[in-house]
Structure 1
């Protein structure tokens, strides 16, 4: 998956993630997420979405803008993502 390694994330940044439903792997969407301080390690950052903390790593497709996320979604899935829901 895509991971913007050179981007300097800061707490409070809003990013966009291609998120697959863990209960239905054929369902994916573009989801807005907040970059926050990791509650278990204040030296690290993580993403906060769906009331859950996710590590920032190469397992997530993270995009700095909604436009970039939608382009990637359309490339991989061929239709518009369902932002916010």
Structure 2
């Protein structure tokens, strides 16, 4: 599984993320998203997912494929 470093993101990149449902914290999904210019700060990038802009944080994890995100999810949330 290969993570994309934040410094290597460019506008127009499609990435996959593990997205936690804000209404049901115990539910997470793997979602495709796009890297875009931040709408209020042209010097920053943002994650566009579910018709919403999100500020990119240093600890966010981005993946090239849904399969890579799935592997990370399985490692993080191992079910015994």
Aligned partners of 2:5, 2:61: CA distance in 1, in Å?
11
Question: Aligned pair 1:55/2:55, yes or no?
Answer: yes
Unaligned residue ranges in structure 2 (runs of 5+): none
* TM-score normalized with structure 2 length: 0.81
Distance 1:43 1:64, change over 3 A: same
Q: Which runs of 4+ in 1 moved over 4 A?
A: none
**What's the offset of the Cα at 1:4?**
4.0
TM-score after normalising by structure 1: 0.77
CA distance in 1, matches of 2:29, 2:77: 9
- Identify the residue that residue 42 of structure 2 maps to in structure 1: 42
Considering only aligned residues, what root-mean-square deviation do their CA atoms show, in Å?
2.0
Unaligned runs of 5+ in 1: 80-85
